[in-house]
Structure 1
Amino acid sequence: MTTHEVTNQVPPLTGHDTADYAVFEETLRREGATSALDELHDVGRQAGSAHAIALGDRAEAHPPVLHTHDRYGHRIDQVAYDPSYHELMEISTGFGLHGTPWASDDPHAHLVRAAKLSAWGPVDAGHQCPISMTYAAVPALRVDPALAEQFEPGLTAAGYDSSFRAPSEKQFITAGMSMTEKQGGSDVRANTTRAQEQADGTYLITGHKWFTSAPMSDLLLVLAQAPGGLTCLVVPRVLPDGTANGIRLQRLKDKLGNHSNASGEVEYVDAVGWRLGDEGRGVPTIIAMVNMTRLDCTIGSASSMRAGVLQATHHAVHRRVFGRPLVDQPLMRNVLADLAVEAEGATTAALWLAALTDRAEAGDEHATMLRRVSLAVSKYHVCKRSPIHAAEALECLGGNGYVEDSRMPRLYREAPLMSVWEGSGNVAALDTLRAAAKQPESLAVFFEELDEARGSDRRYDAFVDELGSAFTDLDTMEPESFQYRARRVVGDMAIALQGSLLLRHGHPAVAEAFAASRLGRDRGDVFGTLPTGIDLAPIIERSTPKGTGEKQEVVA
């Protein structure tokens, strides 16, 4: 008798097109960007290939290593990456996922980039940190036209160069961010790093940063205390004369996830930098970068949700229990559909924000105001939902999902990062209410956007009415009470925004499920509690991968 006959195991999820997702095509068609569909599917096919998946596995399994000194004792402050990381960076920059939209004359460049980033996202989250930082650095650099002219071409060129040389000597460069200090965290005004102006107009920077994203980047945007207050500076890793700048890598962080990315502590010892913007205007200057990375946090969380749904539906289609496919079991269908609805709402909002960015960058003031509040609420809500979504998607695979080679544990470890990065949940929620208080017109524009869907669903109308009443109440509250309710109000704003978008542009079955559960509050406290009477078939169909079956590569 054979004791090791393998049956009822699910084939690897490879050989599929990750861009084969209805929300992508529906959004691009609605925005008039269908010319990008072929390019998007090229990204999706590569992302779903066994080769790309193996690259992500290798980069995850072989995290970067810090070398502070060479064999002779000279300080070098270098990070060694696995070759898979560099290949991933080459592919991503070749796709234009970094700064290329800023140099494009395509009116939909940011939307197209967001869709491609979302399709590529499940391959590996770590290398996307410098990709995102490089994308986000460009609008901050534009505060100083001379610095933008000097560095923007390298940040927007479609290519990758990991060599340790001066930015002026390289065709392709990357950027990172260095804000956080051990005593301050999100309170960057408590920073103690100092910047002193020199006779030639440069600044010497001295201090210790507790967390620096992508420290091996060619440029770092650094916050430091200058005589005129907290100031943003552009600090190169290598000076124009080819010598190393005074940037000392103290250690790399041992993180929960994001293992392929080198996040580290950095000490600045008379590091040379150029002032970006006026002294004392560091926060307003760097917020242009933060807003773009917050957009990528929203895109990343939505992409993570969709990746979890793809794994869960793929498993359920191929796994049989009690004599029939798992996907046909009623309760599992409810869980899968609920997960898919969450992912569609998040993805729809993320792509809408990217399209809004295109309009804002073209000079549309209405879009700029609408993005201000909508980005903050979406960053808060979508990123907070991602971890519990990942946990439920993992559970759909049962014990198999808890095993590392399913890749679901990696998805689970990555999920909390987007909520922590660029402002935790509290920071994002309070930022929303702060914007509403300082710029009431931005809140008015937000509610005008919600009004576009009025009359399409009674549950939506009631939900928006209740939300409006909450803001009326907040106007009369003490500041402490105002903060106390921030998460509830901002979360409802995000739900209302997703509901508005789905009711106007989404698939009818998805919109109905969202309205009944999220807007009508007919839902339990876990996934899989959609009310009865909803057509689940099209919801699950839209989130089931097609064309799988490519042979898996063996990861060394």
Structure 2
Amino acid sequence: GQRNSLFIQRLKDKLGNRSNASSEIELHDTWGVMVGPEGRGIRTIIEMVQGNRFYCCASSAALMRQGLVQALHHVRHRSAFQKRIIQHPLMRNVIADLAIEAEAALALTLRIGRAMDEAPHDAEAAAFARIGTAVAKYWICKRAPGHVLEALECHGGPGYIEDSIMPRLYREAPVNSIWEGSGNVICLDVLRAMDRDEATVAAFLAEVDTGRGANPLLDAAIAALKAELTNRKGLELRARAIVEHMAVVLQASLLVKHAPASVADGFCATRLGSRWLAAYGVLPEGVDLDGIIARALPGD
């Protein structure tokens, strides 16, 4: 045998994800094998892309959970103004909001994983996985950097010091929204799936409908989403808004079925309410902060 004509030119100096080396390579008369029919490269590779997009979701959900755990530990042990930071109402609001977001990300990731497992022998699951993976990848990976930043801020100045894990988490968080399709690419792929196979939209709406009746805000959001998806005017311009709406409605549908009422109601009250504010720590009065925080605590 002989060496293939493939040359590594350099390792890339990346913002984060540094222990996972990326390189620039030169191909010169390199030997390769065609793995699919000529002219059908995208269709051939899409199965691998779907898997990698799922891994991006799982990685971002894990980053959010790790950031939350680090913040929880700090605020439960650090004192300010004669009491633990976690005992201050505003910090409890922030932590509970972070916990809701992390659980919603995990619930969506696991649901997509189940659909991918079922896809080979279930046409509806395959249709749902086709569109749901892209929706989840866009939203979870888009939410992770801001989530990690808020968790870092819970530490104050110590969270900005390299002695802590938080700077590494913060550098790591953006990469998954870039890999396997940045935000615009993913949103356009959702539109492509909707256009090429109506079964994808039907499967997606059938899934969110399984949460109907559990929360009036969710019921209203499902109705609004259906109306939004039937409006074909200016789809590309509205693509990000559409995909975001699909993601939060799907997350809410999953949480009302699988999470405690404290988490599900808190999610619906904010993410589906008429006054969703962008920052974390804006849960309204009446949300069960104690129940949400207790659920988020790591096991002893």
TM, length-normalised to structure 1: 0.53
Matching of residue 407 in structure 1 with residue 160 in structure 2:
no
Whether contact under 8 Å (1:436, 1:443) holds in the other structure is: yes
Alignment partner for residue 491 of structure 1, among 244, 253, 256?
244
Aligned residues: 300
Structure 2: how far apart are the matches of 1:442 and 1:472? Answer: 14
Distance 1:495 1:433 in 2: 17
More strand by share: 1
Show the counterpart of 2:112: 353
Q: What amino acid maps onto 1:280 in structure 2? A: G
Superposition map of 1:169-188 within 5 A: none
Question: Identity of counterpart residues, as a percentage?
Answer: 48
2:19 counterpart residue number: 260
Give the greater-gyration-radius structure (CA): 1
Residue 265 (structure 2) pairs with residue 506 (structure 1): no
Gaps of 5+ in 1: 1-240, 548-556
Aligned to 1:275: 34
Give 3-state SS (helix, strand or coil) of 2:50's partner.
Answer: helix
What displacement does 1:398 show?
0.4
Asked whether 1:544 is paired with 2:297, we answer: yes
Distance 2:29 2:239 in 1: 42
Question: Which one of 271, 276, 286 corresponds to residue 518 of structure 1?
Answer: 271
- How far does the alpha carbon of each residue in 1:471-515 deviate from its partner, in whole angstroms, 9 at most, with x for none? 122x2x1xxx22111000100000010000001111111001001
Contact residue 293 and residue 422 of structure 1 kept, 8 A: yes
Aligned twin of 1:465:
223
Residues 417-464 of structure 1 deviation map (CA, whole Å, 9 limit, x = unaligned): 000000000111111111111111210111111111111111001111
Partner of 2:187: 429
Amino acid at match of 2:261: P
- Separation (CA, whole Å) in 2 of partners of 1:314 and 1:263: 33
Amino acid at match of 1:496: V
More helix by share: 2
Q: Which amino acid aligns with 1:497?
A: L
> How has the CA–CA distance of structure 1 residues 331 and 374 changed in structure 2, closer, same or farther, with 3 Å as cutoff?
same
Query: Secondary structure of 2:30's partner?
Result: strand
Indicate the structure whose relative CO is greater, using CA pairs within 8 Å and at least 6 residues apart. Answer: 2
1:344-365: per-residue Cα shift (whole Å, max 9, x none)? 000011011111111113x111
CA distance in 1, matches of 2:164, 2:268: 33
User: Structure 2-normalised TM-score?
Assistant: 0.98
The offset of 1:523, in angstroms, is 3.1
Q: Matched residue of 1:251: which SS? A: strand
| In structure 1, distance between residues paired with 2:132 and 2:299 | 33
Structure 1 residue 245: Cα displacement: 1.0
CA shift, 1:324, in A, is: 0.9
Contact 2:248–2:271 (Cα < 8 Å) also in 1 = yes
Letter in 1 for 2:43: P
Q: How does 1:97-496 map to 2 (within 5 A)?
A: 241=1, 243-361=2-120, 363-473=121-231, 475=232, 477=233, 481-496=234-249
Contact kept, 8 Å, 2:68 with 2:151, in 1: the verdict is yes
Superposition RMSD in Å: 1.0
What displacement does 1:544 show?
Answer: 2.1
Residues 522, 531 of structure 1: 8 Å contact kept = no
Q: How far apart are the structure 2 equivalents of 1:305 and 1:287?
A: 27
Letter in 2 for 1:534: V
Structure 2, unmatched stretches of 5+, are: none
Quick check: 2:124–2:199 contact (8 Å CA) kept in 1? no
